[in-house]
Amino acid sequence: MKKSKHLLISVLILSAILLGACNLPVGENDEDAAATIVAETAAVVFTQAAETAASTLPTATTAPEATATVTNTPFPTSPAATATNTPIPCNRASFVKDVTYADNSEVAAGATFTKTWRIKNNGSCTWTSGYVLLFDSGDQMGAPATSTITAGTVAPGATVDISVDLTSPATPGTYQGKFKLRSPDNIVFGINADGQGPFWVKIVVPSPTPTPTATTPPVHSSGTTDIAASFTANLDDVGDDIWFHAVAVNDNYIEPQNGALLVTWGGASPSKAQCLGAALAATPITLDNALVNQFICYKTDQGRIGKFKVTAFDGSTLSIEYTTWVTP
């Protein structure tokens, strides 16, 4: 680079000398003129060379500082989910609760009962009186094939209590009947999300509980006897117990004998326990036609409890039917 600049300066000096020589004024000394030209040319050349050098020298330039650029890069986002509107079916129900007879309720054999469910209209159509309860499968238990669920309307989202009259089977066991609903246009539907599930009644018919049989107390003696006026009768096997005491016409009595006791009971046949609890006494009982078909409790002279029924009385003869129980 420096060699090129020196060469350029030399060329310029030589060119200036030649140009100056061509323009020398007339009458001047050649040597003086030449010296003057050389001096002027040199001054011009050096001035131009200085200007050229100044204009061509490189200028130091400060390198720009690197500046970090912060770039905000957004996180990738998932594409927004697209909502899908699933249409609600026209006919669909949902089970709310058993109003009566929850699952496995006991119902006596052959008993009539009313099962009631609370069902919600979970569809988009209003239920009218044209909608019916439909027996679907299982144990029918006397349920009708169809029955109306409402006399009015059941709007979507509303509930209705649906009832059906049933009769439990005669045989002990577990029984279950399943039901659905049917629309006026013969669309059969039920519960659950798909609207196809049945709802049901489930009962248990228990085995019958044996009825305890009353124990018949053992009998010491029994039978019938006719007692003539003023005669006595023995109601067990030792000693007389009653006397037909005929005082006069229409004045007759049955009187206990030998420590026996009597009490009028009434028209119903008493049990041994009832006679044991009766107010037995030694008081005579008036004997007339009103006493016929009435029962009398007694205790014999031996302490045995019994009863007799006055089967007939004609004023002269007393007829009785008696039972004397074994008494510890």
The reply to whether 155 falls in a domain is: yes
Give the mean model confidence (pLDDT) for residues 25-47. 47
- Whether residue 11 is predicted with pLDDT greater than 60 in this model: the reply is no
The reply to whether 213 falls in a domain is: no
Percentage of the chain beyond pLDDT 70 is: 74
- Whether residue 21 is predicted with pLDDT greater than 90 in this model: the reply is no
Domain end marker among 165, 180, 205: 205
Is the domain of 272 the same as that of 230? yes
Is the domain of 151 the same as that of 239? no
* pLDDT, position 215: 78
* pLDDT, position 24: 47
The reply to whether 29 falls in a domain is: yes
Q: Report how many domains make up the chain.
A: 3
The most confident of 25-39, 69-83, 193-207, by mean pLDDT = 193-207
Domain that holds residue 282: 219-325
Domain end marker among 205, 237, 260: 205
Q: What is the CATH number of the domain that holds 184?
A: 2.60.40.10
- Whether residue 324 is predicted with pLDDT greater than 50 in this model: the reply is yes
Is the domain of 251 the same as that of 154? no
Tell me the whole-structure pTM to 2 decimals: 0.46
- Whether residue 63 is predicted with pLDDT greater than 50 in this model: the reply is no
Percentage of the chain beyond pLDDT 90 is: 68
The reply to whether 67 falls in a domain is: no
Domain end marker among 146, 175, 205: 205
Q: How confident is the model at residue 309 (pLDDT cuts 50, 70, 90)?
A: very high
- Whether residue 149 is predicted with pLDDT greater than 70 in this model: the reply is yes
Average pLDDT in the chain: 84
The reply to whether 55 falls in a domain is: no
- Whether residue 67 is predicted with pLDDT greater than 80 in this model: the reply is no
Is the domain of 234 the same as that of 197? no
Is the domain of 234 the same as that of 311? yes
* pLDDT, position 72: 53
- Whether residue 112 is predicted with pLDDT greater than 90 in this model: the reply is yes
* pLDDT, position 255: 97
CA 246 to chain centre: 81
Phi and psi at 151, nearest 5°, equal -90, -10
- Whether residue 110 is predicted with pLDDT greater than 70 in this model: the reply is yes
The model's pLDDT over 240-280, given as tens digits with 9 standing for 90+, comes to 999 999 999 899 999 999 999 999 999 999 999 999 999 99
* pLDDT, position 14: 62
Tell me which of 49 and 227 has the higher pLDDT. Answer: 227
Is the domain of 110 the same as that of 163? yes
The model's pLDDT over 174-228, given as tens digits with 9 standing for 90+, comes to 999 999 999 999 999 999 999 999 999 999 999 988 877 767 889 999 999 999 9
Is the domain of 191 the same as that of 253? no
Is the domain of 154 the same as that of 244? no
The reply to whether 307 falls in a domain is: yes
- Whether residue 159 is predicted with pLDDT greater than 60 in this model: the reply is yes
Is the domain of 160 the same as that of 106? yes
- Whether residue 22 is predicted with pLDDT greater than 60 in this model: the reply is no
Q: Which two tokens stand for residue 244?
A: 């037909």
* pLDDT, position 142: 97
* pLDDT, position 277: 94
The reply to whether 164 falls in a domain is: yes
Is the domain of 262 the same as that of 167? no
* pLDDT, position 116: 98
Is the domain of 37 the same as that of 127? no
Least confident of 103-112, 122-131, 232-241, 316-325: 232-241
Q: How confident is the model at residue 327 (pLDDT cuts 50, 70, 90)?
A: confident
The reply to whether 211 falls in a domain is: no
Is the domain of 191 the same as that of 251? no
